[in-house]
Structure 1
Amino acid sequence: MAAAAARVAERHDWDQAWLNFEVTGADALPTLGREVEWETIYDQDGILIQVASKEALLAMKLRANRPGRDTGDIRRPLGLCHVHTLEACEDFYEEFYPGDSLAPRAVSIVAAILAEGPPHVPETPERFAL
């Protein structure tokens, strides 16, 4: 899989680390709360590529909450998921990670994003050929 990802990166002039294999790490995927839904983005010739829903991606990015690195990755799905307040964000997060609250660092990131106004809802990109 890593070799195939590297070829795709080379073909599209992308960063070699464009595909994150760390998501399989402990506690990365929510398992106790809301079920993670998957979207198939490619299914041909025995190759199946799926991505987590925008909701699950937002929950996982909120959990990672790396300043600077995850800020943009949190901003976009906040808009896509129509999460416009810190309280709504906290409720949303707890759906995926019941009993957990947003880490103070995540609260700071979300508060800074929301202080700029409602998150912009990006356009859906066109699908690309692998």
Structure 2
Amino acid sequence: MLMSLADIEARMGQVFEDERVDQVNAFITDVTALVETFLRRSFATSAPPAAVKAVACLEVIRYLNTDPGVAADRVGDLSTSYAYAGAVVVLSKEAKDALRPFRSRTGLGSIQLVSRYIPDPVEETP
């Protein structure tokens, strides 16, 4: 896991008890899977960079402070709109932006093709 319950408790300044512990651990599992999928790498055998851990912790805290799937809420005339059909947990755009420098580039790239049949351009001298 990228973080522990203690990491979340330290950042929020509170101790979780009973069923709330299960919820926090579920979010930790979800965020770990989402971050590792986005980064295309696993941190099962090594410690994640501090910045990756910080972003992951902030995502868990974000989930704890919002109703699942709620994209917008309005108090006047009581309006709520849901994102992702209320069922899918995703990384925020801000989290993806912060994690992008740590993303593995394996499998992606370009190959420069050189042909022996096409001569290199010769610079003309005046």
TM-score by length of 1: 0.24
Relative contact order higher in (CA < 8 Å, ≥ 6 apart): 2
* Structure possessing the higher radius of gyration over alpha carbons: 2
TM-score by length of 2: 0.24
